[in-house]
Each structure stands twice: as structure tokens, then as C-alpha cells.
Chain A
Amino acid sequence: MYLVLFALLVFSTCHCLDNNEENQDPCGLLRQWIETSSMSVDLNKEGYHRELTTTVELSPDAFSNVRVLLVYRWPRGVYVDPFQLASMSAQRDWQILLDSAIDLELPAHQTSGFVTFVYPGLSKLTSGPLKVTIPVHGRYHMPSSDGEAFTFITIEAPELLLRTETCTRLSSLEPHAVVNAPCTVNNLTTCGWVQIQQNQMIGPISFQIPVGDGSLVVPVCGGTLLITLICCVALTKYMWKHRIVDA
């Protein structure tokens, strides 16, 4: 009798555990989180100094289990200031990895685009959207030759990548692609991440910055040299007129 009860107990526990394991298939959960995630991108501020805000919505139970990575592919017309990012590290909960050194002073046509990997911090949040605000700065562009006052810079939306420690069969998550990217901001190892294909593709964001007018090069050069010459001659005249000689 007791033996039967005991067997029943063991059997039901095993069954429950089996059910739970089935429900908690890590890759299945990951697929679930992928399909319930969404992202939006916004550009704020004006002029040469802007802020790109990326908001990521994940289902609440994902936060403690999943790692998030945002991959930004920046065009040559903008740059991020690594020193500014370092100085604001205390006020932000995300970390950033740059793929190359950034020269802050070069004009756009002398640089190339670059890639940044942003790792939002998930430990503090249990719910609510993730927000990453990155300050970006426009570079000086070549002057326009046809009198155009502005040029457009287009920033692609970032790629949203997810990963969990437990799911290793990433290929089972088709049609979502698997990419390799640094596991953490320390860039010591590379892991496989799942790239989320958004149903509504988020279009690129464009903004315009002023450029010099190349068609005015002759009047500008002429005017500048004329005025500096006049000032030079006037100053020379007065300095020589009032020069001090020994008695």
C-alpha cells in the first residue's frame, strides 16, 4: 500500500518535472521573448550635437535571463566622443564598446563609418522598457558646390541581438539569424547572438546639418584677404608713426 502511494508520488513528481522541463525549454522561451520584443528609435536635440534614444520593450520575465546587445553601424558623418561617454559613465547603466579609435576633429570625407556595441544593464530593472541614449556629434562635411545649405546624414536603426546562457541551439530559432559578436563589453570572447527580424522594419533616421557654400569661395577668399590686408597696413602705419626711439 505504502509502496503504491510512494510510486504514485514519485511518478507524479517525475511527470510534473517533465512538464516543467518541457515548458521551460530555454530556446522555446528565447523564441517567445524574441517574438514579444519591440524597439523604437528617436533622435533628439538640434544642430551638430544630437541624442539617439533607443527604446527596447521585452517581456517582463526576460529581464533576469536574457542578455541584450544593440549594434549600431554609424555613418562617416557622425562620431561619438569616447571621453564624453567615459565622463557620463556614472549616470548611465549601459556600457559601450567601440570597434576603432575615433578622431574627433577630422571632417567627414576623411573618415569612415564605425560600429559600436552597446550592452544595456539589466540588473536594476525588473520591468519597463530599456532606454539607451547615446550623444552623437556631426562632423564637418565638404562644402557644397551648388549652393545647397545643408547635407543629410542617415543613421541606420541599430540591430537588436538577444542571447541566453541556457539556449545553445540557436539555429533552431529560424528565421531569426545568428550572428557572432563580443560576449561582453570587455571583448574577450565572441558568442552567438540571435538577431531579431522586426516585422515592421524600422527605417533609418535622417537629419541635416549645415555645410559651407563652396560657390562663394572666391568672394570669401577675396574679402578675407582684403580686410586682413587693410588691417595689417593700418596697424603697420600707426605702429611706425608712433614708434619709440631713444633720445
Chain B
Amino acid sequence: RDSRVCALSLRLFLIAYGQYQDSRMEVKYTDIDYHVFTDAASFITQGESPYNRSTYRYTPLLAWLLTPNVYFTAVFGKILFVVCDVLSGMIIYRILCLQGLQSETACRFSSLWLLNPLPMGVSSRGNAESILSALVLSTLLCMETRRLTLAALFYGLSVHMKIYPVTYALPIALSLHRSAPTAEGGERRWKSLIRFIRGFFNKDLLLFASVAGGVFCSLSALFYHMYGWEFLYETYLYHLTRRDIRHNFSPYFYMLYLTADSRWSCLLGLAAFLPQLSLLCVASLAFHRHLAFTCFLHTAIFVSFNKVCTSQYFLWYLCLLPLILPHLHLSVREGLMLLLLWFSAQALWLGPAYLLEFKGLNTFLWVWMAGLLFLIINCFILITLVVHYKPAHNTQRLKVE
């Protein structure tokens, strides 16, 4: 409880400080995205489309939620994000308790989120990521307590707000999969495949799919009716077809920049997508019994192998990290080494990127190599986590010869 109060007060203090800095100094504390949200909300209060605000590429729901920014106070949005942030921490605590941890241990791990400066800074600056992390964590909590309708509701809502949770569909489907008992005396391969596929058509999974699909489709239909094609394009299509060739953490950045106008660019785009897809399938098949771990792996793989990768994406899997940490058989020293490795890889990228952007030196090759190194280190860290993940459940680890 103390950490919750502490977390909330620290965040509120940061909001107040942000207001002070914005009014006094040239470098603003508030993120540019927050101004985009507020402008879009003010368009809504005038009865217009939020997409009149250029670079507003989110769901109209967000602008609607932030209309009190215009009516009451400009910091309403930040307070909402900060509350969602603290709520995420509380949900982490609940999930850890349900997984069998002692209350005190669960508290310590949820403090890793509540008292972490990174999510504190991000929400108080006005980024809406905390709403999504609260929705994803609520989905996981409801799945853990088997309240499937509620889980499907949160899931549909989270996919509506940002596309990336759609990758969780596979592990969720696999975790709700019910396979009939194996026939005796072995069976043919095609028969077991049919049995596997038939296992997907059970009451739980169909209920989940229909509620989640219903929520997503009805929200999309509502906003399409209100704002037309622009809503579909800005909220979904832009992110799917985005080809930003400017330097970013992705290992594919330089390849895509050099081939941007050639006839190979489509093929290379596909070549970049296939490893992502195959890894997501393997991760789901390997770990679907542990939904939190699978979702963490999914997001980490998705972000690391994506064609565009910015530091904002790291938050997507950071909120799931406290859920898997208690089950990792890593010493504190080993964990800190991994963390240090991850930060060093980022620093090795940021160095040449700074020289490129702010000093005008041609460090493209160094940025490219640093991007590849970042991928290698991310994979190394993920492999270490996979090898050391030993949850105390009734499931057996497959014995290796």
C-alpha cells in the first residue's frame, strides 16, 4: 500500500514539475504527443474530426477520453495516464499473488514497476502507453482468474487502441485450446492434426473470439461511421504500411534505406517479416501454458525484429517483465549483467546516431552495425531468459537428452 501511495505521489509531483518547466524553460517537459492529443480533443469539442490535427495517428477514443483537457484542466490527460500507470502496478501485484507468490515478494516485484523512473517519466510527460499496459495486464489478470468475457473485452479494446496486441491472439487461442484425449495405439499424423484443429472449436475459445471480435468490430464500425476512411487509415493502415527510412534501432534500417526505391524493396520487406512471424509462432507453441511469459516473449520478439524500432516500443514489454522475474532462476548479479548489456548495446547505437544527426558525420555503417549488435544482444538476453525460466507449476520442462 505504501508503495502505491508513494508511486502516485511521485508521479503527481512530476506532473506539477512538468507544468513548471513548460512555463519557464525552452526545453519542454511535456511530450509533443500530448499536445497532439489535446489539439485533437479540442477539435472534437468543436464537433469536428480529431484527424484535422495532422500527425494524430491514434484511435478517436483517446481524443474523446481527453476532452476534459479542454473543458476542465489541461493536465487531466496526464493524471489519467498516471492513474493507469499505478493501476498497472496494482494489477501486476494481483497477478503475482494469483501465481502463488507471497504478498511481500509480490509487493517487491510490483515496486519494480511502481517506483521505476522510466514509466514514471513517460506517463508524466503525457504519453498514452500506460493505458495500453493497463489494458494488456487486465487481460492477463482476467485470463488468470478465468473471467473470459471480461478478458475478451479488455483484449478487444487493447487491439483497437494499438495493433501490436493482436499477436497475443495465438497464445491466447492456444491456452484456451482443449484437446481430446489421444486415441490408444497411436494414430495417423493427419488424424492428430484434425484433432488439434478441432480442439480450437470449444466453447471458451469461441466465446472469447466473439466478444473480442465484437468489441473491436463495433468500435471500428462506430468510428468509421463518424470519421470515415481517415479513421481507418490513420489509426491502422498508416502503422502497417509505414516506411520510415530514417535511422532507428531496427537491424533492417540501413537495408531498407538503401533499397527504398528499388524493385527489391517489397521482397525485402517480406524477408524481414518472415523471421518475426515464425518466431512468434514458435514462442506461442513453446510457452502458451504460461501466458504472461509468452506475451512478454511475443512483444520482445516483435519489437526486436521489427522494421522500425524506437525506444517507445520498449515500454510495451517492460510492463510484463515484473510478471516473469519471480520465475527466473537468475542471480541478482547475472540479472544486472544482462541489464547492463542491454543498456550498453543501446549506448553503442546512440553514439554514432548522435554523430550522424547532430554533427553531420557519415556514420551510417556504424549505426547499421550497432543495430545488428543490438539485435544479437537482445536475442542473447531472450535466450538467457528462456533457459532460466523455471516456473513452479505442475508442468514439466521437456527433458533434453
| A residues lining the B interface (CB < 8 Å) | 46-49, 83, 87-88, 91, 101, 104-105, 107, 109, 140, 142-143, 149-150, 208-214, 216-217, 220-221, 223-225, 227-229, 231-232, 234-236, 238-247
Contacts and interface: CB of A to CB of B under 8 A. Distances in A.
A246 B356 contact: no
B379 A107 contact: no
A225 to B, nearest CB: 6
A47 B364 contact: no
12 contacts: A46-B359, A83-B32, A87-B32, A212-B254, A212-B258, A220-B258, A236-B279, A238-B386, A240-B282, A242-B398, A245-B398, A246-B394
B400 interface: yes
A174 B160 CA distance: 64
B395 A246 contact: yes
A46 B355 CA distance: 10
Contact of A47 (B26, B252, B360): B360
A221 B376 contact: no
Contacts of B255: 220-221, 224-225
A79 to B, nearest CB: 13
A209 B356 CA distance: 9
Contacts of B21: none
A217 B35 CA distance: 39
Interface in B104-130: none
Interface residues of B, number: 63
B18 interface: no
Contacts of B376: 227, 231
Nearest to B252: A224
5 cross-chain pairs, A with B, having the tightest CB-CB distances, nearest first: A243-B286, A210-B362, A47-B360, A232-B275, A149-B362
Contacts of B246: 105, 140
A242 B390 CA distance: 10
B395 A91 contact: no
Contacts, number: 152
B26 A238 contact: no
B54 interface: yes
Contact of A242 (B259, B272, B289, B397): B397
A240 B286 contact: yes
A206 to B, nearest CB: 13
B398 A221 contact: no
Contact of B360 (A109, A209, A212, A225): A209
Given A235-B379, A243-B398, 4 more contacts: A227-B372, A228-B275, A234-B379, A238-B387
A244 B272 contact: no
A210 B261 contact: no
Nearest to A222: B255
A216 B258 CA distance: 8
A140 B357 CA distance: 11
A87 B28 contact: yes
B301 interface: yes
A223 B375 CA distance: 13
A212 B361 CA distance: 11
B395 A245 contact: yes
A210 B375 contact: no
B279 A232 contact: yes
Contacts of A220: 254-255, 258, 368
